[in-house]
Amino acid sequence: MSITGTRVSGRLVASACPAGTGSPNALPRPPRDLQRTFQLALATVWLLDAVLQLQPFMFRPGSNGFSGMLHGLASGNPSWIAHSIAWNASIVDHHPVSTNAPFALIQFLIGFGIVSTRSLKPALALSIVWSLAVWWFGEGLGRVFSGGATPFGGGPGAVLFYALLAILLWPRTGSDQPFVAARAVGVKVAKTIWVAVWGLLALLSVVGSGRSPRALHDLVAGMNSAEPGWLTRIDVSSESFLLHHGTSAAIVLAVICLMVAAGVFLPPRFARTTLVLAIVVFAVIWVAVQNFGGILAGGATDSNAGPLVIVLALTYWPLTDDRGTASDVASDPALVVRGNRPS
Partner 1 sequence: MTTTPSWLYYLFGVLMLVVAAYSVVLLVSSAATRRPLGWDVDISHLFMGSSMAGMFVTKWAFGAGTVWELIFSVLLVWFLVRSIQSMHRWGLHLSHFLIHAVMSFTMLLMYRFPVSAPMGAMAMSARGSRLDPGLSFVLAFVLFASAIFTLASPNKGASRHGTHAPAYAMEGTGSGAATSHSAGPSTSVMSIETLLATPRLEDASHVVMCVAMGFLLILML
Smallest gap, in angstroms, from Cβ of residue 291 to partner 1? Answer: 11
Which of 17/125 has CB closer to partner 1? 17
Which of 64/325 has CB closer to partner 1? 64
Smallest gap, in angstroms, from Cβ of residue 36 to partner 1? Answer: 7
Smallest gap, in angstroms, from Cβ of residue 334 to partner 1? Answer: 22
Which of 207/284 has CB closer to partner 1? 284
Smallest gap, in angstroms, from Cβ of residue 53 to partner 1? Answer: 10
Which of 212/315 has CB closer to partner 1? 315
Which of 119/273 has CB closer to partner 1? 119
Smallest gap, in angstroms, from Cβ of residue 336 to partner 1? Answer: 22
Smallest gap, in angstroms, from Cβ of residue 228 to partner 1? Answer: 5
CA 131 to chain centre: 12
Smallest gap, in angstroms, from Cβ of residue 12 to partner 1? Answer: 18
Which of 48/216 has CB closer to partner 1? 48
Binding site for partner 1 (CB under 8 A): 1, 18-23, 25-27, 29-30, 36, 40-41, 43-44, 47-48, 51-52, 54-57, 59-61, 65, 96-97, 101, 111-112, 114-116, 227-228, 230-231, 292, 295-298
Residue among 36, 40, 37, 32 nearest 6 (CA): 32
Which of 80/230 has CB closer to partner 1? 230
Residue among 103, 85, 118 nearest 46 (CA): 103
Distances (CA, A) of 288 to 59, 196, 204, 230, 234: 29, 26, 19, 11, 6
Spell 197-211 as b/e; 16+ CB within 10 A means b: bbbbbbbbbbebbbb
Smallest gap, in angstroms, from Cβ of residue 71 to partner 1? Answer: 17
Which of 33/268 has CB closer to partner 1? 33
